[in-house]
A and B are shown apart, each in its own frame.
Chain A
Amino acid sequence: EAGVVQSPRYKIIEKKQPVAFWCNPISGHNTLYWYLQNLGQGPELLIRYENEEAVDDSQLPKDRFSAERLKGVDSTLKIQPAELGDSAVYLCASSSRSDEQFFGPGTRLTVL
């Protein structure tokens, strides 16, 4: 069974530029999560989807971050415009039950 797929694995951009990350969850997993992981920290939830509905986006900085999961399968997380402090690893995870979440390899973003 294929795991969670994320792309790109690495992204380097200049500040004020837009950036987008893509995630394809494990087949059959209805719940999809985007996490932010800063260096030396554990993952922190940005947004959780149940199918195509964002059921928890309370931690998503909505002034510059947006996400979508139009068909309830793959998802895109966007930052526009990016700031220096956005440099981090962005992890996508999916689950078929709310507790056992399976993570992708992440996208490491560097904002210069």
Chain B
Amino acid sequence: GQQLNQSPQSMFIQEGEDVSMNCTSSSIFNTWLWYKQDPGEGPVLLIALYKAGELTSNGRLTAQFGITRKDSFLNISASIPSDVGIYFCAGRGGGSEKLVFGKGTKLTVNP
């Protein structure tokens, strides 16, 4: 089935630094979504992307839909302690209606 490769698995950064994480798929996707999950909570939708090359921002977060339609990245600028959590990419495509999730990037921000 479809697989997503999300990297890095974990990141340890200092407050104020910028962060970048990415996701690649084995097939062409029509939709890319980025979620954040805090401990004990469900994933919260951050950004949704629907067109190849699309670049969308949500505050300090920016995500892009890769032009090959097989990848996406998420950038966080000027990180703050509340950015701590697990970030998941999710995508839909390859003829399937199902949303497929990556394994997540665990972000730790040191004050």
Contact = CB atoms under 8 A, between A and B. Distances in A.
Interface of A: 4, 6, 40-45, 48, 56, 91, 93, 98-106, 108
B21 interface: no
Contacts of B98: 45, 48, 56
Contact of A105 (B40, B88, B101, B102): B40
B45 A105 contact: no
Interface class of chain A by DSSP = loop
Interface of B: 4, 31, 33, 35, 40-45, 48, 50, 88, 90, 92, 97-99, 101-104
A91 B102 contact: no
20 contacts: A40-B103, A40-B104, A41-B104, A42-B4, A42-B88, A43-B88, A44-B101, A45-B99, A48-B98, A56-B97, A91-B43, A93-B42, A98-B92, A99-B33, A99-B48, A99-B50, A100-B33, A104-B42, A106-B42, A108-B40
